[in-house]
Structure 1
C-alpha cells in the first residue's frame, strides 16, 4: 500500500532519502488532485486496470546502477526536475521502490508517494511531478500508455501556460 505524505523540503539532504515531514496524505487527498492509486498484487489486476482505462501499450524499465552505470545519478537528477506531461503517467512497480513527488495545486506543497511492489499510480496529464529512487537505488516498473509513449517533459515555470496544465487546473475546480 502506497505511503503518501508531505515532503519536508529539506534540500540539504539527498533527494533519495524519505523526506517525511510526518504529515500523512490520504488516498482521498491524492484523488482530489487527480492521482489514481490501486494496489495490484497480480499482473492480472494490472491488465484489468489497463483494459478499464484504455491503455493499449506498455513496456518494462529497470533503473539501477547495474542498468545505467555512471549515468544513474545524472538520469535521476533529470527525472527529479519538476515537470509535467501532456499524457497521463502510469507506473506499476514490479520490484524495488521509488518516490513520485506530486504538486498539490491548492497549496503548492509536494506530496511524496513511496511506491513498492504492487503499487500502481496514475498521474493526470498537466500535474507537476518528479521521480527518484529510494536509497535502495533500484526499481523495475511497467509503464502503461494510452497510445504511443510521449516522452516530452515540460518544465516549470515554462509549462505554466501549457493548455494541458490549464485543463488540469480547471478539472480540479
Structure 2
C-alpha cells in the first residue's frame, strides 16, 4: 500500500482516496490493482504481462502507450549500483513514467513546478503510479534492494533522463517507511535521549 509524505510539513497520507486526491493536481494518478493469487513468486515476465493484460490494455488506450515490459531488480542484479545511479538524481523525461509494482517497494520523490514542497510516494505491491512527462523527480530503492514492476512506454525506445543542475535530491536522503519505520519522535520516546538510528 502506498504512503505519501511531505517532509517540509510533516504530513503523511496512507488512505488510498486521500493519496489519489493529493496527487491529482500534479497530474499523478495512483491505483490499487488486485494482486492476490494472480502470479506466483517465480512468474516470468511473460506470465506477469499476461496476468495483467486487461489493465495494461486499458492504460495503453487511455495514455497512448505502445509497449509494456517487466523490470526485475534484486541484490543479485549485475551493476545494480550503476543502474540505480541513473534514477537517484533529480531529472525529467519526455514521456510519462508508468510503474505497477508486483514485488518489492521503492520511493518516488517529486519536486513540483508550482513551488509546493517536495513530496515522496512509497510504492509497494499492488500500487500503480505515473510520473507525468516533464515532472522533476527521482527514485530510491528501499533497503531490500528489490522491486519488480510492469513498465509502460509511449515510445518503443523508452526515455532518457534529463538531469537537473543543482538538483534538490541532495537534500532528501533515501528512506522507506515500511512496517519497520520508526519516527524520530517515537524512537526518542521509546529510547530516551540517546542517539537514534533510523
Separation in 1 of the partners of 2:82 and 2:154?
28
2:80 aligned partner: 72
Taking structure 1 as reference, are residues 148 and 7 closer, same or farther at Cα in structure 2, changes over 3 Å only? Answer: farther
Separation in 2 of the partners of 1:153 and 1:142?
19
2:152 aligned partner: 144
Q: Secondary structure at the match of 1:93?
A: strand
Deviations 1:93-140 (A, max 9, x none): 111111111112222532111111111111111000101111121000
Q: Runs of 5+ in structure 1 lacking a partner?
A: 9-20, 159-173
Separation in 1 of the partners of 2:56 and 2:119?
24
Taking structure 1 as reference, are residues 24 and 149 closer, same or farther at Cα in structure 2, changes over 3 Å only? Answer: farther
2:41 aligned partner: none
Verify: 1:109 aligned to 2:112, yes or no.
no
Report how many residues are paired: 145
- Greater relative contact order (CA < 8 Å, ≥ 6 in sequence): 1
Among 19, 22, 36, the alignment partner of 1:29 is: 22
Q: Secondary structure at the match of 1:117?
A: coil
1:99 aligned partner: 107
2:186 aligned partner: none
Q: CA deviation at 1:41?
A: 1.5
Q: Secondary structure at the match of 2:114?
A: coil
1:3 aligned partner: 3
Q: 1 or 2, which has the higher strand percentage? A: 1
Q: Is the 8 A contact 1:40 1:46 kept in 2?
A: no
Q: Runs of 5+ in structure 2 lacking a partner?
A: 14-18, 36-51, 167-198
4+ aligned runs moved over 6 Å, structure 1: none
Separation in 2 of the partners of 1:38 and 1:51?
16
